Amino acid sequence: MLNPDLVGRTFPGATSTSVSQESINAFAAVIGESDTSMATPTYAITITLDQSQKLLQESGLDWTRVVHGEQRFDIKRPIVAGDTLRCDSTIESARVMAGNEIVTVRGDLFNGEELVVSTWSTLVVRA
């Protein structure tokens, strides 16, 4: 079980990720996108889910039992090569349903002071 005191807390990203053209190209190639002047809409997950995983694992959650339940993106502008993105993670909710723990983590990606993309990942920890 996640410590309920963590719900509502924001954990500022300790490091930043420099977005390379190569990583945008690789993601685009998988889904057949030929326009690589910007990242495709779900690219942000490559940064935010990793941060959520680290945060939740450090909080004692068993990642091997986690399945992805829901995902949401709010995109202020597309991510582009050269962005240096810091991910602030907020545990928005944690509840138990039918024995499974359901945790929603928001990831806010900032380029400097500019909020670029917010993601919400709802993760189900199977009982």
Partner 1 sequence: MSRFTAGQELAPHTFLINRALLVAYANASGDQNPIHQDEAFAKSVGLPDVIAHGMLTMALAGKYVADLAGGSASVKQYSVRFTKPVVVPAGVDVELIVSGKVSEITDAGDAKIDITAICADTKVLGMAKALVANA
Residues lying near partner 1 in the complex (CB under 8 A) are found at 23, 26-27, 29-33, 35, 38-42, 45-46, 49-50, 67-75, 77-78, 120
H/E stretch holding 29: helix 21-31
* 103: amino acid identity, one letter: V
Alpha-carbon gap, residue 49 to 73, rounded angstroms: 12
Compute the least distance from the CB of residue 34 to partner 1, in Å: 10
Closest contact distance (angstroms) between CB of 99 and partner 1 is 16
Tokens 């582009």 found at: 80
CB neighbours (10 Å) of residue 113?
A: 5
- Nearer to partner 1 by Cβ, of 6 and 81: the residue is 81
Indicate the Cα dihedral angle 96, 99, 100, 106, nearest 10°. 10
**Which residue number, 41 or 86, has a Cβ lying nearer to partner 1?**
41
Least Å distance, CB 38 to partner 1, is 6
Contacts of 5 (CB under 8 A, 6+ apart): none
User: Residue 6 or residue 38: which is nearer to partner 1 going by CB?
Assistant: 38
**Smallest separation, CB 28 to partner 1 (Å):** 9
Q: Which is nearer to partner 1, 50 or 96 (CB)?
A: 50
